[in-house]
Amino acid sequence: MKIRLKPSSLAQILDCSTKKPTVLIATPNYEERSVWFPQKYFEGCISQAIDPSSVFTQFLWPQGQVTRVELLEQLKGIHFAKLAELRGRFSNEERTPVSYHDDFNPREVVGIVVRSSEAFSGEEHNIVVDISCMPKRVLFSVCEGVESIIRSAEIADCPTVFFVYTAPRRYGALRYAQNVGEVNGLFSGCSIRDAREEDVSAIILPGLQGYESKLLYDEIRSRVSSSVAALIAVSSRDYQTSLAVMRANQFLMERRDITVRYYFSLMDGVRKLERHIQGEAARPIREGSRMILAAPFGHKPFLAASFFILRNLASEQRIHPEIAYVSGFQYLSLYSLGVSHVGGFQLLLEE
Amino acid sequence: MDAGTLELDPGFIDREDIVARLHFLEDMESRWPYSPAKDTPLADRIARCLTLLPNEHRSFALAAFANVVYLPTSLLTESWEYLAHVAAEGEGLSVGELIESAHFLEVDESGLVVDFLHENGVHGRLDTDRFSRLQTIDDLARALLIVGNDEANYKAVAKEIQLAFAKRYWLVLTDNALSGTSLKSDLERCRRLIHAYSELGEPRVVPIVQVLTSTAERNLADEWPVVSALRFDERFKIEAGNKSCTLFSSMETLEGVVELSRWLASQEYFQNDDRLLSTIDKSGDDMALGFKGGGWTLVTPNCPTNSLPILWYVQDGFYEGPFPRIMSRTSQVKGTGGGLTDAAEAMAPEILARIEATCG
């Protein structure tokens, strides 16, 4: 079974919610955009007279011991309160604390996702995951949870899965990145440095901070055979943010052994990412196996997209799919401000 | 570049983040060279330009150059796939369906249709039963006049015309809509021809633009909703008193760049340059900030006239902008496009009768 990605909208999600019960998974935090989609979704449910008992909301509530910052916790409370009135009309809701980012346990999140889906066990249903403010390691585990639900069901009984993302109006000034560490693989859970493959094909989707791309490049450039491509966002709405990302990742331009390509929207990027990965998987391998490494350091939807695109390669011989992750936790500053637009995609299953 | 010999102010260079911005631009440009500059490195072009400027304008020139938005061919070419998807989704079609049901036109002949089809993996662009080769609105008007006037050759042309009008959409492609003037003129000519030849079909005109500005958007108004890949608004516009401009750290720098632009436009060389006379005439101002007061710092594969002339104007030994432009129009003779459309519109009944007789 292959999983394909198709663009989706709030209207489409609401339309599906009128037909089947829905599990909504989200991570409200101190950013305004973190509650934007749930709020719009609940308002839509009310205006379309969707039965409250047909919506189950699972709010993941990341809580760290070491990194707990009272001021941010209070901001979380304020945003969460915005949902209170709407939420009151949807009584079957859970708020589940998740240890993050210290003591993070990926299996705990997978379990929460699977259990949430069981709220409508035996019934056709939708799963809507709002990934806007979901930490990347949590998101990876959510993808694993969703995948396990899909793979354990017959195609006809599979839930309809949507991933939605609310883009911010702008990012706050990035300061004091903490916990910057080495480049790890999310699939293997190991450092990329320890991967045995000498043939590595990496595609970087750079982020605002820049350092992740350089760390990754330094890790893999010494391999016998490596190719590095960068897929850079050029926002049709906000070229200034794109420029900031390009400037932060200037070394990608400097290195002539890196192929640079551009994308103009989430789905444009997903298409180009998928084509690139498929192209790299199809290239002949001289010996051993090839690691195909997606490095979604920028927008979160690309982590979910990379997960499902790479999982489609799972049956390919001599291909080792991997997703690169570098921690750089921003718990000493606000991360984003305001709300720009909502985008997302639906998972389509093919035999 | 030696800041000492050019008497530049280090504080100003720091405030405007000029070193990092120029270095980024240099990296972009060395990877994707600005071809009209003929391999001369950007640093040399900027240094040369600064030496030709009066001292009081040099810092502001540097600030303007550091804020160039460089859009190389590779970036723009990649936008075609995105634009095809957006246009198709807007019509509720797949890209393949949209392309098969569209006739393609480009504003000014520049090979955009071929690029669009290549980037979207379309095979058979030369199949005459699928795609008409009448790829500008002038081509189309000329072809209509051939049917009306040329007894010997009209039959083959009539079939091409019928094919173009039989499509559901006319996709009008352009690289830049910065003032929107050329695009709007072509769109209106499309509309007039479709109206005059509605018996052949009434395709919907969809403008598809790689780079759009807020000025062009206003000019096209709600009448022509545009599908665009990149949109630049007042934040990127250099204009006296523009408080929305975010290119510089202070209004003083913005005003300094405006002053420099005015200085260049006030020079006799510029005002009396034969190559520019018709453009200045059409612009309706002194073009200090570019065609129709553009004020942009956009540099595409051939720097547009809507961008500041301090970027693209060259007069050997007097002023040499770092992004020299190859002028598309230098003649004083007015274009014939409007006349062709007038004539094709006026002869519509006879031409339609001939197409009917030829193609049935």
Q: Is the CA virtual torsion B10, B14, B20, B25 positive or negative?
A: negative
Question: Which of B3-7, B210-214, B238-242 has the lowest average pLDDT?
Answer: B3-7
Residues of chain B numbered 11-50 and touching chain A (CB < 8 Å): 20-21, 23-24, 27-28, 31
Do B192 and B67 belong to one domain? no
Q: Which chain B residue lies closest to A8 (C-alpha atoms)?
A: B89
Residue A177 located in a structural domain: no
Do B265 and B346 belong to one domain? no
Do B93 and B103 belong to one domain? yes
Do A15 and A164 belong to one domain? yes
Query: B148-157: long-range contacts (C-beta < 8 A, 24 or more apart)?
Result: B148/B344, B148/B347, B148/B350, B148/B351, B148/B354, B154/B354, B154/B358, B155/B358
**Interchain contact B231–A (C-beta under 8 A):** yes
Do B260 and B288 belong to one domain? yes
Residue A336 pLDDT exceeds 90: no
Q: Is B81's CB within 8 Å of A268's CB?
A: yes
Residue B211 located in a structural domain: yes
Residue B5 located in a structural domain: no
What is the domain count for chain B? 2
As a whole number, mean pLDDT of residues B275-291 equals 94
* Token code pair at residue A313: 């390669």
CA distance B28 to chain A (A): 6
Do A125 and A27 belong to one domain? yes
| B116: nearest Cα among B209, B231, B45 | B209
Residue B325 located in a structural domain: no
Residue B23 pLDDT exceeds 60: yes
Q: Is B24's CB within 8 Å of A253's CB?
A: yes
CA distance A268 to chain B (A): 6
Please report, for the domain that includes residue A130, its CATH number.
Answer: 3.40.50.11700
Do A149 and A190 belong to one domain? no
* pLDDT tens track for A51-98: 888 999 999 988 776 666 777 777 877 777 777 777 666 656 777 888
Do A26 and A126 belong to one domain? yes
Question: Which of B57-66, B75-84, B146-155 has the lowest average pLDDT?
Answer: B146-155
Do B227 and B344 belong to one domain? yes
Q: Give residues with Cβ within 8 angstroms of B254, minimum separation 6.
A: B238, B240, B242, B245, B247, B248
Phi-psi region of B164 (alpha: psi -120 to 50; beta: other; left: phi over 0): alpha
Do A228 and A344 belong to one domain? no
Residue B4 located in a structural domain: no
Do B81 and B68 belong to one domain? no
Please report, for the domain that includes residue A243, its CATH number.
Answer: 3.40.50
Do B261 and B157 belong to one domain? no
pLDDT above 70 as % of chain B: 95
- In DSSP notation, B18-44 reads HHHHHHHHHHHHHHS--GGGTT--HHH
Residue where the block lists tokens 């050329």: B182
**Residue A66 CB neighbours (<10 A):** 9
* Token code pair at residue B237: 């516009």
Q: Which chain B residue lies closest to A267 (C-alpha atoms)?
A: B82
Q: Which chain B residue lies closest to A257 (C-alpha atoms)?
A: B31
Phi-psi region of B131 (alpha: psi -120 to 50; beta: other; left: phi over 0): beta
* Token code pair at residue A148: 């396990």
Output b/e per residue, B261-288; b: 16+ Cβ within 10 A.
bebbbeeeebeebeebebbbeebeebbb
In sequence order, what are the beta bridge partners of A96?
A: A60
Q: How many Å apart are CA B272 and CA A122, to the nearest integer?
A: 81
Confidence class for position B188, pLDDT limits 50, 70, 90:
very high
Do A197 and A113 belong to one domain? no
Give, in order, the Cα–Cα distances in Å from B66 to each of B34, B44, B187, B233, B297.
15, 14, 35, 18, 10
Do B217 and B346 belong to one domain? yes
Do B125 and B195 belong to one domain? yes
In sequence order, what are the beta bridge partners of A260?
A: A230
In sequence order, what are the beta bridge partners of A184?
A: A191, A325
Confidence class for position B3, pLDDT limits 50, 70, 90:
very low
Residue B194 located in a structural domain: yes
Confidence class for position B81, pLDDT limits 50, 70, 90:
very high
* pLDDT tens track for A47-60: 999 988 899 999 99
Q: Give residues with Cβ within 8 angstroms of A133, minimum separation 6.
A: A27, A28, A29, A31, A33, A34, A335
As a whole number, mean pLDDT of residues B82-91 equals 96
Residue A178 located in a structural domain: no
As a whole number, mean pLDDT of residues A302-318 equals 91
Contact A302, A206 (CB under 8 A): no
Do A117 and A237 belong to one domain? no
Q: Mean of the per-residue pLDDT values for chain A? A: 88
Q: Which domain holds residue B161?
A: 73-231+333-359
Residue B290 pLDDT exceeds 70: yes
Do A15 and A59 belong to one domain? yes
Do A192 and A316 belong to one domain? yes
Do A189 and A166 belong to one domain? no
Q: Give residues with Cβ within 8 angstroms of B339, minimum separation 6.
A: none
Radius of gyration of chain B measured on its C-alpha atoms: 23
Q: Which chain A residue lies closest to B85 (C-alpha atoms)?
A: A268
Q: Is A350 helix (H, G, I), strand (E, B) or coil?
A: strand
Q: How many Å apart are CA A40 and CA A61, to the nearest integer?
A: 20
* pLDDT tens track for B333-345: 555 667 899 999 9
| B86: nearest Cα among B233, B228, B213, B210 | B228
| Helix H or strand E encompassing A208 | none
What is the domain count for chain A? 2
Residue A332 located in a structural domain: no
Residues of chain A that touch chain B, judged by Cβ-Cβ distance less than 8 Å = 7, 234, 236-237, 239-240, 243, 246-247, 250, 253-254, 256, 260-265, 267-268, 271-272
**Interchain contact B226–A (C-beta under 8 A):** no
Do B63 and B95 belong to one domain? no
Do A231 and A121 belong to one domain? no
pLDDT at residue number B14? 95
Q: How many Å apart are CA B310 and CA B300, to the nearest integer?
A: 15
CA angle B136, B147, B125 (to 5 degrees): 40
As a whole number, mean pLDDT of residues B104-124 equals 91
Do A205 and A151 belong to one domain? no
Q: Which domain holds residue A342?
A: 2-171+337-350
Q: Is B230's CB within 8 Å of A254's CB?
A: no
Q: Is B229's CB within 8 Å of A236's CB?
A: yes
Give, in order, the Cα–Cα distances in Å from A125 to each of A13, A20, A162.
12, 5, 11
* Token code pair at residue A62: 């990341």
Q: How many Å apart are CA A223 and CA A205, to the nearest integer?
A: 20
Do B55 and B83 belong to one domain? no
Residue A127 located in a structural domain: yes
Give the amino acid at A286.
Answer: R
Residue where the block lists tokens 């706050």: A172
Do B253 and B297 belong to one domain? yes
Residue B328 pLDDT exceeds 90: no
